[in-house]
Amino acid sequence: MIQNIQKEVDAICTWIQNYVEEAHAEGVVVGNSGGKDCATVIALATKALGSERVLTAALPCSSIHADYEDAKLVSDHFGVPLLKIELTDTYLTFEKTLEGVVNPKEDWRLKEAKINMKPRLRMITLYYLAQNLNYLVIGTGNKCEATVGYTTKWGDNASDLNPLGEFTVEEVYEIAAYLGVPDKIIHKAPSDGLGGQTDEEKLGVTYKQIAEYIETGTTDEKALAIIKRKEKASEHKRKPIPVYHRLT
C-alpha cells in the first residue's frame, strides 16, 4: 500500500518532467492497449506533461476489437490523441518469412517465439513514432510482472523510462483510482491480449500472491514455488546486458 498517494503521484510526475527535459525530448509516446497499466501511465504522463505532449498508439495484432474500444475510452477520458496502427498483416508477413527457418524439438518454443513477435513489432512501431517526433517511449510494466518475468525482452519491457516499475499491481490500482482512470479499465481482468487468457491464468498464480511475495518473501506454498521458479528463470530480463571486461 502506498502511504501517501498524493505525494507519491506528485513525485512520479516531477520525475517524468525532469527525465523528458534532461533528454531534450518534446513528449512521450505510450502503447495503449486499454489495460490498467497503460491507462495509469497515460494519466501520469498527461498530469506531468500536459495532454498535448502525450501520444498514445493502439497497435492491434490479431487482437480483439474490445481492446481497441477500451484504448479509445482511455485516450478520450484523458484528452490525448490515439493512433490506430494495424500490425496484423505485418505480423503474418513476418511469420511467413521466418517459416521453416528453424525447427525446434519442442513445439512450445516456436509457439512462444511467434507470440513474442507481436510485442516486439509493437515496440519497433513505438520507437518509429518516438524518433520522428523527438519523443521518448514511456513504459508500462509493473513490479509483479518483472519479478516473474512476465514480459517480452525487447518488446513490452523496452522503453526509455518506466514510472511503474517499482509498484506492485495492487499499488498500480491505487494510483489508477487516484488519477481517475475509468472504473471499467480498473476492474478489467489483466491480460496481454496475446493468448486468449488472463495474466493470472497464464501465470498460474495471482498478482496478489506475487505482491505478497515481493513484500514479505513468502505466500501460499504452491504459489511460492511457482513464483520462485519463474523469478530465477527470468533473472536475465531484469539485469543490464552483461559486457565482457577485457584483460588489458
pLDDT number for residue 187: 92
Question: Looking at the DSSP assignment, which residues form a beta bridge with residue 27?
Answer: 135
pTM score, two decimals? 0.95
- Looking at every residue in the chain, the average pLDDT score rounds to 96
pLDDT number for residue 195: 64
Count Cβ atoms below 10 Å from residue 8 Cβ, excluding itself: 16
Q: Nearest 10 degrees: CA dihedral of 162, 165, 170, 176?
A: -10
State how far the Cα of 232 lies from the Cα of 228, in Å rounded to an integer.
Answer: 6
pLDDT number for residue 217: 97
Each residue of 125-145: b (16+ CB within 10 Å) or e?
bbbebbeeeebbbbbbbbbbb
Cell numbers at 164, concatenated: 511503474
Radius of gyration in angstroms for the set of CA atoms belonging to the chain, rounded to a whole number: 18
- Residue 5 dihedral angles phi and psi, to the nearest 5°: -65, -40
pLDDT surpassing 90 at residue 105: no
Question: What letter represents residue 201's amino acid?
Answer: E
Query: Which among 38, 58, 69, 66 has a CA at the least distance from the CA of 176?
Result: 38
pLDDT number for residue 116: 95
pLDDT confidence bin for 215, thresholds 50/70/90: very high
State how far the Cα of 37 lies from the Cα of 32, in Å rounded to an integer.
Answer: 9
**Model pLDDT for residues 10-48, shown as the tens digit of each residue:** 999 999 999 999 999 999 999 999 999 999 999 999 999
Give the end-to-end CA distance of the chain in Å, rounded to a whole number. 49
The sheet carrying 27-31 orders its strands as 82-84, 54-58, 27-31, 135-137
pLDDT surpassing 70 at residue 232: yes
Q: Nearest 10 degrees: CA dihedral of 164, 204, 226, 218?
A: 60
- Residue 152 dihedral angles phi and psi, to the nearest 5°: -105, 120
State how far the Cα of 209 lies from the Cα of 87, in Å rounded to an integer.
Answer: 34
- Please tell me what DSSP assigns to residue 225: H
Q: Per DSSP, which regions of 54-174 are E strands?
A: 54-58, 82-84, 135-137
**Model pLDDT for residues 62-81, shown as the tens digit of each residue:** 999 999 999 999 999 999 99
pLDDT number for residue 114: 93
- Residue 137 dihedral angles phi and psi, to the nearest 5°: -85, 120
pLDDT confidence bin for 6, thresholds 50/70/90: very high
Domains of the chain: 5-238 (3.40.50.620)
**Model pLDDT for residues 86-103, shown as the tens digit of each residue:** 999 999 999 999 998 998
**Model pLDDT for residues 153-197, shown as the tens digit of each residue:** 999 999 999 999 999 999 999 999 999 999 999 999 888 777 668
